[in-house]
Structures are given as structure tokens and as C-alpha cells.
Amino acid sequence: MAKNPVDFAGLARYIGSMSKDDQMCDFYEVEIDGNISYVYVPVGAVVDEEAP
């Protein structure tokens, strides 16, 4: 399980950490405009804050 799950300020719910394509990922349930999607973030991913 992740030590510091990403905070989506009430837009997402952390589900847990699981292996995907032989890499550990954090999985989230994200609700935007009433639509629910599931996303994963590779553990150790670097965020580029200047990216659009």
C-alpha cells in the first residue's frame, strides 16, 4: 500500500496499490461530472508541474 496516496481533493477515492504490467501502481476511483472512471498512477512516478 502507498505511504502517501495522491490527494484529489474530494474528486477521487484511493482504492489501493496493485501490480499492473509488472509495475506497482496506485489505483483510484475518480468521479468527474457524475462519471466514474478508474485510473492508475505508477508508484514512484514523477509529476511535471509545468505540463499542460
What residue segments make up the domains of the chain, in order of their start?
12-42
pLDDT tens, the chain, 52 aa long: 455 655 566 778 889 998 888 889 999 898 878 889 998 888 876 665 565 5
Closest CA to 25 of 41, 6, 44: 41
As a dihedral over the C-alpha atoms of residue 38, residue 42, residue 44, residue 48, rounded to 10 degrees, the angle is: -70
Q: What is the pLDDT of residue 31?
A: 84
- Cβ(18)–Cβ(29) under 8 Å? no
Q: What is the pLDDT of residue 19?
A: 87
Give this prediction's pTM. Answer: 0.59
- Residues paired with residue 38 on neighbouring β-strands, in sequence order: 29
Q: What is the pLDDT of residue 7?
A: 57
Q: What is the pLDDT of residue 12?
A: 82
